[in-house]
Chain A
Amino acid sequence: MGTLAPIVAVVLAFLTGAVIILFFIRTYTLTDTTFADLKEAAVPIAVIEKIRSLEGKDYSDKAAFEEDIASRMGDKDFQQYGAMISGYALTRENPIRVYHEIFKAALKDRNGWGHVLYRATPLILTGLAVAFAFQCGLFNIGGEGQMVMGGFAITWVGFTFTQLPWFLLIPLCILAGAAAGGLWGSIPGYLKAKRGVHEVVTTIMLNWIAVALTQYLTMAFKPPESWIPHTYKIAKAAQLSRLYVYLNPLGINFSRSNLVNTAIFVAIAAVLITAYLLKRTKLGYEIRAVGFNPAAAECAGINVAKNTVLAMAISGAFAGLAGVNQVMGYKHRFRYGVFEGLGFDGIGVAFIGKNSPWGCVLAALLFGILDHGGLAIDVSTKVPREIVLVLKATILIFVVVSTELTKRLINILQKREEAAA
């Protein structure tokens, strides 16, 4: 039942998206078929010929279409036949084709997969951040802030300790990212543990403080000659290679421009670490006990405050690691634009993945598919890529509503059983 809910939510969301696409995406085009239909509908050939010159032209705006037709056939004819012509010329976008395009772009070949994995990598980490905190009963929506703090730390270490060799610098950068994110995450944890302040508000506020802070730091460390708001480049020793470097020689071919890089292993490692921590260590046992029942945990001698702070710190550390992909694996500099929104998407990923580590992976992949596929449909269909945001949001709403929805469905089914009995 638990795994059913996200799937149902995704399906419902796609249905909603389909309705939106069907209803709102309208194009007016005069094609051969349109002319044939008009002839059959007894529109005089003379009139049809007047608009023949517009054949093949796509109009997304009904008013512009009608204007052009009217100007070519005169007001009298337009009044008589205009509506009919518009009716026949109207084409709608087929949602199934749109969805097909999205998935095709993402999954049809290795390169597509590569792009999906690249996009999923930071989302796995920011999703883990939310999911891990949730195990302790905490709602960490500060992923965005923890992520940029970690990201900046990674960058700073990367362009400061340039003399170190790669096998020292890379781990150091990763450590810095985790530490900075962890520190930023421990702040709301501490405030909750010691002052009882709800972490939801504090994490939201700290998000924007972090964004502002890192934007300031970006400008402080900006190369003087550059117009773009980004920092110095990190040392080559800190830069992660794209996967094609390793895989192409093995015959697994990725294009050179495919962004998927070794950071994905950090993400996978994080998932494995999370699963291990939660199920097999004392720390995980205590954190989950606090999450399930803080009163019982306290009675059993577990230090609720300490575990709260630790859970938030680990959570923040995960978010901080997102920069490994964005900075070390892609931009090689710090720039907020490269990070924007990934923290918030992480919340969606965690919820859709039911706050479990592997669920996060699946949900992150889904988001990755949608993000990458969205770019494709922008070009190959009339649907703007922002439909992906609409889809994401609708999936989220349906997932969130699913528990009560399922409860009510079960209630209705039970009542029917009782009535029948």
Chain B
Amino acid sequence: MIESIFAILASTIRFAVPYTLAGLGGTYSERSGVVNIGLEGMMLSGAFTSVAVTNITGSAWTGLLAAILVGMLLGLIHAAVCVSFKADQIVSGLAIIIFAAGITVFFSWLMFNKTQIKAEGMLRVPFLHELPAFKLLFSQIPPLVFVTAAIVVASHFVIFRTVFGLRLRSVGEHPQAADTLGISVYKMRYSGVIISGALSGMAGAYLSLEHAHYFVKGISGGRGFIGLASMIFGKWTPFGTAGAGLLFGFGEAVKPYLPKIVPSQFIDMIPYILTIFVLTSAIGRATPPAAIGVPYNKE
């Protein structure tokens, strides 16, 4: 019984990571005023890149780094389209999803001649992994989980306590006011979107390197969208997103233990139903940053 509880707990945390990281990425982007539904595509790209680079270079950390860079590249494209070209943010995000779906399998065939690639490497923390206690810990709760937790905490401070965070939020709520005070709306929005790419890429790397140990076509499986749901349910805050991620992760973790009468698909629906609920409710409604989705025109 106790073992089950621990297993569920560890499972919850493991499932929560991609939701949290993607949702956190979304938070940075949307806080700056740019909708990013392309998280799913950035995650998928990160997943592929991490495995491909790990297998080629033999180093999982390099794979992780590459995944983050690829995510940032996609973020840069999204930012250019949405901020500089002032084009439709939803369609751009959708294009990124389709693009990622195509290009990951494309390169998968080219480089490895298959669409299911085993990750030949794991993220090992240099000294700690030698110690048996940590080895056991990391086998249940991989290193990236701790990195994620650190990023969540750090993000809270970055967004709410730093100069950068204040300006980021101002640009998402009232870009005109920020502009009159000399803040570069374009620069802040680029930053927000590129960070969202980096975090989504990391989410993908986690998925393939530490969670599944595999890259498979379409491995992101909608987790980017659950990340969006986490962000909304978490009211665009790092701790809220992490909490939502844990909640949705718990749903995943508890599925095998459910009695037959509760269909697993209903658990799958929960993140989305909760999100709609929190968007439409009369009390405690989640409101996005005020200027979101509207390209800024410097008159």
How many residues of chain A have a CB within 8 Å of chain B? Answer: 44
Residue of A nearest to B100 (CB): A393
Contact B81 A397 (CB under 8 A): yes
Q: For chain A residues 164-194, which have a beta carbon within 8 Å of chain B?
A: 191
Q: Give, as a whole number of angstroms, the nearest-CB distance from A200 to chain B.
A: 6
B246 to chain A, nearest CB (A): 19
Interface size on B, residues (CB 8 A): 44
A201-B275, A206-B276, A351-B91 provided; 18 other pairs, C-beta below 8 A?
A141-B94, A201-B232, A202-B280, A205-B272, A205-B273, A205-B276, A206-B272, A208-B225, A212-B266, A216-B263, A386-B103, A386-B109, A387-B106, A389-B98, A389-B101, A394-B95, A401-B87, A404-B87
Top 3 A-B pairs, shortest CB-CB distance = A389-B102, A393-B99, A216-B265
Across the interface, name the chain A residue whose C-beta is closest to B56: A63
Contact B81 A400 (CB under 8 A): yes
> With a CB–CB cut-off of 8 A, which chain B residues contact A141?
90, 94
A156 is an interface residue with CB less than 8 A from chain B: no
Contact A396-B91, Cβ < 8 Å, known A200-B35, A206-B276, A212-B265: yes
Bound together, the chains give a CA A61 to CA B103 distance in angstroms of: 18
- B110 interfacial by beta-carbon distance below 8 Å: yes
Asked if B88 is at the interface of the complex by the 8 Å CB criterion, the answer is yes
Instruction: Please give the distance in Å from A83's CB to the nearest CB on chain B.
Output: 20
Q: A201-B279, A344-B98, A393-B98 are in contact. Are A405 and B85 (CB under 8 A)?
A: yes
Among residues of A, the one whose C-beta sits closest to the C-beta of B98 is A393
Task: Take A205-B276, A384-B106, A386-B102 as given contacts and tell me if A397 and B92 are in contact as well, using a CB distance cutoff of 8 Å.
Answer: yes
A103 within 8 A of partner (CB): no
| Residues in B neighbouring A348, C-beta threshold 8 A | 91, 94-95, 98
Of chain B, the residue at the smallest CB distance from A194 is B280
In this assembly, does A8 line the interface, its C-beta being within 8 Å of a C-beta of chain B? no
Contact yes or no, B279 A197, CB < 8 A: yes
Query: Any chain A CB within 8 A of the CB of B229?
Result: yes
Within 8 A of B (CB), among A377-397: 384, 386-394, 396-397
Q: Give the chain B neighbours of A213 by CB distance below 8 A.
A: 265, 269
**Neighbouring B residues of A384 by C-beta, 8 Å:** 105-106, 109-110
Q: Is A195 an interface residue (CB 8 A)?
A: yes
Interface residues of A in 386-418 (CB under 8 A from B): 386-394, 396-397, 400-401, 403-405
Rounded to whole Å, the gap between the CB of A411 and the closest CB of chain B is 13
Q: Please report A residues at the B interface, Cβ cutoff 8 Å.
A: 24-25, 60-61, 139, 141, 191, 195, 197-198, 200-202, 204-206, 208-209, 212-213, 215-216, 219, 344, 347-348, 351, 384, 386-394, 396-397, 400-401, 403-405
> Is B268 interfacial (CB-CB < 8 Å)?
yes
CB-CB under 8 A from B94, the residues of chain A are 141, 344, 347-348, 396
* Residue numbers in B under 8 Å from A60 (CB-CB): 110, 113
Interface mask (B68-98 → A, CB under 8 Å = 1, otherwise 0) = 0000000001000100011110111011111
- Given A195-B280, A400-B88, A393:B232 Cβ within 8 A: no
Contact with A393, one of B85, B88, B102, B279 (Cβ below 8 angstroms): B102
B87–A403 touching, CB < 8 Å: yes
**Chain A residues whose C-beta falls within 8 Å of the C-beta of B273 in the assembled complex:** 205, 209
Contact B110 A25 (CB under 8 A): yes
Instruction: Give the residues in chain B near A201, CB-CB below 8 Å.
Output: 228, 232, 275, 279
Q: Shortest CB–CB separation between residue B84 and chain A, in angstroms?
A: 8
Instruction: Sample 30 A-B pairs with CB under 8 A, ordered by A number.
Output: A24-B107, A60-B113, A61-B111, A141-B94, A191-B279, A200-B90, A201-B275, A205-B229, A205-B272, A205-B275, A208-B222, A208-B225, A212-B272, A215-B268, A216-B265, A216-B266, A219-B263, A219-B265, A344-B94, A344-B98, A347-B94, A384-B105, A384-B109, A384-B110, A386-B106, A386-B109, A396-B94, A396-B98, A397-B77, A404-B87
Q: What's the Cα separation between A348 and B92 when bound, in Å?
A: 10
Cβ-based interface call for B37 (8 A): yes
- What residues of chain B lie closer than 8 Å to A195, measured between beta carbons? 280
Question: Which positions 270-299 of chain B face chain A at CB distance < 8 Å?
Answer: 272-273, 275-276, 279-280, 293
The CA-CA distance from A200 to B275 in the complex, in Å, is: 13
Q: C-beta contact mask, B223-250 vs A, less than 8 Å → 1, else 0?
A: 0010011001000000000000000000
Residue pair A212, B268 in contact (C-beta under 8 Å): yes
CA distance A212 to B225 in the complex (A): 13
Q: In whole angstroms, how far apart are the Cα atoms of A237 and B172 in the complex?
A: 56
Flag B40-78 by CB within 8 Å of A: 1 or 0 each.
000000000000000000000000000000000000010
